[in-house]
Amino acid sequence: GDSVTQMEGPVTLSEEAFLTINCTYTATGYPSLFWYVQYPGEGLQLLLKATKADDKGSNKGFEATYRKETTSFHLEKGSVQVSDSAVYFCALSDPGNQFYFGTGTSLTVIP
Amino acid sequence: GAGVSQSPSNKVTEKGKDVELRCDPISGHTALYWYRQSLGQGLEFLIYFQGNSAPDKSGLPSDRFSAERTGGSVSTLTIQRTQQEDSAVYLCASSFGGTGTEAFFGQGTRLTVV
């Protein structure tokens, strides 16, 4: 079945460091790919998405590119801030609109 | 309402009691999802509704768990004879159900079984 595997955490970075959180997927069809973020004490919210191969999703300085050849959707940010501290979830939705989530990666950014 | 609404936000129950968790999705959203998030864990899929029918119930952990959706809108997740391992945050999400559409999450119901 479809699934998502993402980098284990927790990740701790200094402010202004470069961030990469790896995400790979397994899917039988042509999924859409998402990154969700959960800030402390808050609900999950969409960070960015891409719906077809080679699409790049971007938001709040974060980017991820849908790579069909490597079945990946890695999340990157060039310069993290303390306010980026959160748990990040990679997800895919299949053509039947079922969502599959990764286990989440906790990020802590220290000043 | 503007977003996915879940109630109650917190529920403390005694072991062995039944509980009902409610989810009110965004108006017009045909797809509805239930997930469970245990402390420090990822999202565990429970069940998915398309309209009133549930194409995928594979995530329900046991026959103590059931869910229904009526009128293509509100959904209730029922846990019978609660156990301590049922303690978790139960999350509901909804979407328009089209390809590539995002799922919008509620704030969750924190269930504590004592």
Distance CA A51, CA B15 (A): 44
Q: Is A78 exposed, middle or buried (0-12, 13-18, 19+ CB in 10 A)?
A: exposed
* DSSP, residue by residue, A5-33: EE--S-EEEETT--EEE-EEEE-SS--EE
Measure A88 CA to nearest chain B CA, in Å.
Answer: 10
**Mind listing the pLDDT tens digit for each residue in A75-105?**
999 999 999 999 999 999 988 788 999 999 9
- Scanning A49-108 for CB atoms below 8 A from B yields 49, 51, 89, 93, 95-104
CA dihedral B88, A109, A62, A98 (to 10 degrees): -10
Measure A64 CA to nearest chain B CA, in Å.
Answer: 15
Q: Is B6 exposed, middle or buried (0-12, 13-18, 19+ CB in 10 A)?
A: buried
| Tokens describing residue A71 | 């079945």
Mean pLDDT, consecutive 10-residue segments, chain A of 111 residues? 88 97 93 95 94 96 97 97 97 88 94 95
Tell me if chain A has a CB within 8 Å of the CB of B5: no
Please answer whether residues A85 and A40 qualify as being in contact, where contact means their C-beta atoms are separated by less than 8 angstroms: yes
**Mind listing the pLDDT tens digit for each residue in B59-81?**
899 999 999 998 889 999 999 99
